[in-house]
Amino acid sequence: MATLAGVLGMVHTPFCYVSHSYWPVIRARRALRADVPEDGDEIEAKARRVQQSFALMRQKADECNADVVIIFGDDQLEYLDFNSFPPFAIFAGEEFTGSLSYDDMVRYRLAPEGDEAPKQTIKGHPELAGALLSKLYARGFDPAFGLTTDSPRHVGHAFMRPAESATDCSIPIIPVMVNCYYAPQATATRCYELGKVVREAIDSYPTDLRVLVIGSGGLWHTPGAPGSYLDEDFDRQLLGFLEKGEVANAAQFFDSYQIPEGDLSQPLGQRTATSTGLPESPGPQGGTREYCNWIAAAAVADGSPWTVVDYVPIYSSPIGAGFAYCNL
């Protein structure tokens, strides 16, 4: 029988994959709220904490001795597009391709002109992915699935960054794509329910496999939005629920959040090249919704307490860079 070997939660923000010397450069291109502090003299120390946290995530992943990794992450018009954007999708093919973290240098125009991000091909696990799909269908979920990564469609950074940081990219990985960004999004409560069914699929899988689960993204951030700020209290309250193993309460807290009046960083109902203009689901908007990936991952080990390795407020983004693992 398959065994849940471990659960990790980690950010995938570009700020954690480019040199901290570029943080002020990127901040200068953004329209942050006037009261957002500067990282100032703490930049180097924060960058060091981030790298130390990544190192511990890699150590925890290695200790799991996993045969396969399931990553809950969001797709930002990388593999999916607006021709058809499901709330959940699972990559069930033999292998997939995506860009490594140098892509962040290219996207932020920090790399030499003409440079391209190197690509990495990673093995999938069609058998376990198929079991996930079957179990989800039986439990009232209707996820889409993909089998290939034909150019220009590729698996996005929400999966490639943790693959690069927590593994050596040799372990088979199953990307579970969660619609965090594009209204109407999957709610945190639905992601909690998704994670619980994924645990059922792992427990009932007949082959002896050790499975590592990763929740990718977050925490609070609204990248590129006008008036962006960092709600550290919101992050710490949600992390507090995970520390107590109260995943359902974390999901309820997330979904009950009300956007403050006049908050320009969380616009509602606007149609742009990267937003649908359709009614948003309850809870925070923007990148903060990547917390739903953590909730889905945490639900796979529902009731087990988490250890928060570090929470690094990076004001240059701004983002709450969180790192945690579950005590099974």
DSSP code per residue over 259-309: PPTT-TTS--S-EETTEE-SPPPSS--GGGGGHHHHHHHHHHTTT--EEEE
- pLDDT at site 221: 96
Mean of the pLDDT values across residues 37-62? 97
In this structure, is residue 93 part of a structural domain?
yes
- At 179, which CATH number? 3.40.830.10
Mean of the pLDDT values across residues 158-183? 97
Question: Whole domain around residue 138: which residue ranges?
Answer: 3-314
pLDDT surpasses 80 at 274: no
The separation between CA 156 and the C-alpha centre of its own chain, rounded to angstroms, equals 10
In this structure, is residue 324 part of a structural domain?
no
pLDDT confidence band for 117 (50 / 70 / 90): confident
How much is the pTM? 0.97
One-letter amino acid for residue 320 of the chain: G
Rg (CA), the chain: 18
pLDDT confidence band for 116 (50 / 70 / 90): confident
pLDDT surpasses 80 at 327: yes
Tokens of 93: 């093919």
- pLDDT at site 131: 98
Residue percentage of the chain with pLDDT more than 70: 100
Mean of the pLDDT values across residues 176-192? 97
pLDDT surpasses 80 at 206: yes
- pLDDT at site 275: 83
pLDDT mean across residues, the chain = 95
The count of structural domains within the chain is 1
In this structure, is residue 322 part of a structural domain?
no
pLDDT confidence band for 109 (50 / 70 / 90): confident
Mean of the pLDDT values across residues 276-286? 94
- pLDDT at site 36: 97
The separation between CA 23 and the C-alpha centre of its own chain, rounded to angstroms, equals 21
pLDDT surpasses 80 at 267: no
Mean of the pLDDT values across residues 243-262? 97
Mean of the pLDDT values across residues 95-109? 90
Phi, psi of 125 (to 5 degrees): -140, 80
Instruction: For residue 105, count other CB atoms closer than 10 A to its CB.
Output: 18
Least trusted range by pLDDT, from 35-49, 95-109, 309-323: 95-109
Task: Kindly provide the residue ranges of all beta strands, DSSP E only, lying in the chain, ordered along the sequence.
Answer: 3-10, 68-74, 88-91, 95-99, 119-123, 144-146, 173-178, 210-216, 271-272, 275-276, 306-314, 319-326
Both ends of the chain: CA-CA distance in Å? 17
- pLDDT at site 128: 98
pLDDT surpasses 80 at 273: no
pLDDT confidence band for 107 (50 / 70 / 90): confident
In this structure, is residue 328 part of a structural domain?
no
In this structure, is residue 97 part of a structural domain?
yes
